[in-house]
Structure 1
Amino acid sequence: MKIILAETAGFCMGVDMALRKLDSLLLKPDPLAAVHTLGPIIHNPQVLQAYADRGVRRVDDPDVLKPGQTVVIRAHGIPRAIEFALKARGIQLVDATCPKVKKAQLLIAAQAAQGKIMVLLGEGDHPEVRGLLSYADHGAYVVESDKDVEALLEENIGPCFLAAQTTQDRQRYALLAQTLRGELDPDIPVLDTICAATRNRQSEARAIAEQVQAMVVVGGRESGNTRRLALVAEQAGIPCYLVETAAELNMEHFRGLESVGVTAGASTPGEVIQAVVNHLKDLSA
């Protein structure tokens, strides 16, 4: 069986940077009782467990943090109001927000400063989206589905601009921009907020899916970019299996296949990806 592994599979720059910042804190004298993350620093259960074993404490409620404690802001970023409140209470913040997310926040703030409403392509309950919304001072509409778009077009929302969660599908974003410019205003600003690494990862997944009989996407199920990779692969009309670890592979799905593609989300460690590849190789040995 031929196995094609995506070159873009695994940690992106933003995830790598966030984990390096957390690692640097753990090298300081007696850090274990003091280092917290506000929510999961990334969306990968294996990585989170490894840091928990090293003493990193995940805090989901910022109100439980005490003055003088150190908290790492997750790669997805946090809402501005929470950031300001933590600083005012004397919490020591280490900002591990992905630079691409930070760029999106600043672009949104610049458009909102002109009095415009944001239309955001994204998952309403995703932590990155909650952070991005806090930069839209004049309100926002989050669209996830075609139904959301239809409802939006029935609203008289006034001057607006379009942005996207950094891990959204670029083709879907382009279609949404075309729709809004055709239905609302041909001059609606469309912000370049989808991460280039996300675009490249999705493009490579599409290309591989056209060459193989099945795809495996490796990554945490809580990871939005991982789930979208699976959707991208499924669009090629072949079976696609999302797994967090090699142990979840059902080898009966791959018996008799001549080719399988493997890619992985931006929060997936290299050793987890390699274990999946090795498991598939064992089948074809």
Structure 2
Amino acid sequence: MEVIRAETAGFCMGVDMALNKLNRLMQENGEGRDVRTLGPIIHNPQVLARYEKQGVFTADTPEDVPRGAHCVIRAHGIPRHVEDRLRKRGVTILDATCPRVKKAQTLIAKHSDQGRTLLLYGEAEHPEVKGLLSYAGDDAIVFGSPEELDPEHLDPSRPYVLAAQTTQDREIFDELMNAMQADPNLDVVVLQTICDATKLRQEEAMHIAMDVDCMVVVGGRISGNTRRLVQVCEAKGARCVHVETPEELPLEELRTCARIGLTAGASTPGDIIDAVEAALLSI
């Protein structure tokens, strides 16, 4: 069996930066003592479990963070009003928001302040999306697919700004952007908020998927960008298996494959990818 491993598999820059900030804080503060993250710092259960063993726990709300503690803002960012509540707790804040997400927040705020209505392509319940929406005021439309946004129902008299969750499918977004910009009745400013690392990861995964018998995608099931990798591979007609750990691999089913592609989400640590690859090569 041959395993084709994607070069872009694993931690992206934003995740790597967030975890490095947390690790430095733990070293300075002594094994995670009085350190919390507001929401999961990244969407990978195995990484979160490792930090819990070192005493770093996830707080669901600002009120769950003890006064005087250190609190790390997750890579996905948090809504404005939640950050305000956190500051009122008197905690020491370490902002580990991904720079790309932070830039998207800033751009959305700028255009929303100019009176434009935000059209946001993303998962409504995703923490990054909730954070982005908080920078758009009360005037925003979230849609999970182009089919959910009917341009004919948009008001030609209103100016809009189109943006996307940073881990969304670039091809779909570009098609939507082109269609809206081609409509002479719409006043739409487009923000290129999809991360370049996401684009490269998806393009490489699709390229590999077209040349193998099966794709294995490694990463947390709560990870939006990992689920998107599964979707883009399946869109190319590839059989796809999504696992979090090597123990979940359907090894007997994969024995019939001569070539297997391997990629992973942006919050998947390298040691888990290595373990999955070793399991595949052992078949």
Give the alignment's TM-score, normalised by structure 2: 0.95
Displacement of 1:254 after TM fit?
1.3
Give distance in 2, aligned partners of 1:248 and 1:175: 36
Give distance in 1, aligned partners of 2:33 and 2:280: 41
- Within a 5 Å distance, the mapping from 1:180-199 to structure 2 comes to 180-183=180-183, 185=185, 187-199=187-199
Q: Which moved more, 1:138-147 or 1:56-65?
A: 138-147
Partner of 1:57: 57
Partner of 2:68: 68
Asked if the contact 1:124–1:144 (Cα under 8 Å) also holds between the matched residues in 2, the reply is: yes
- Give secondary structure in 1 for the equivalent of 2:136: coil
- Within a 5 Å distance, the mapping from 1:1-285 to structure 2 comes to 1-30=1-30, 32-137=32-137, 139-150=139-150, 153-156=152-155, 158-183=158-183, 185=185, 187-283=187-283
Displacement of 1:211 after TM fit?
1.1
Displacement of 1:155 after TM fit?
4.1
Give distance in 1, aligned partners of 2:184 and 2:68: 49
Give distance in 1, aligned partners of 2:23 and 2:253: 38
The letter for the 1-side match of 2:99 is P
Deviations 1:134-165 (A, max 9, x none): 11125110010244213x64243721110000
Deviations 1:26-74 (A, max 9, x none): 1124453310000100000110000000000110021232332211000
Displacement of 1:177 after TM fit?
1.1
The letter for the 2-side match of 1:90 is G
- Give secondary structure in 2 for the equivalent of 1:257: coil
Query: What's the C-alpha RMSD, in Å, of the aligned pairs?
Result: 1.5
How many residues get paired?
282
Asked if the contact 1:4–1:261 (Cα under 8 Å) also holds between the matched residues in 2, the reply is: yes
Asked if the contact 1:112–1:138 (Cα under 8 Å) also holds between the matched residues in 2, the reply is: no
Give distance in 2, aligned partners of 1:101 and 1:262: 27
Q: What are the ranges of 5 or more consecutive residues in structure 1 without an aligned counterpart? A: none
Displacement of 1:183 after TM fit?
4.4
Give distance in 2, aligned partners of 1:29 and 1:39: 20
Deviations 1:72-105 (A, max 9, x none): 0000000011112221331211000000101111
Give distance in 2, aligned partners of 1:270 and 1:32: 23
Give the alignment's TM-score, normalised by structure 1: 0.95
Give distance in 2, aligned partners of 1:185 and 1:136: 23
Displacement of 1:256 after TM fit?
2.3
The letter for the 1-side match of 2:101 is V
Of all paired residues, the percent bearing the same amino acid is: 52
The letter for the 2-side match of 1:277 is E
Q: What are the ranges of 5 or more consecutive residues in structure 2 without an aligned counterpart? A: none
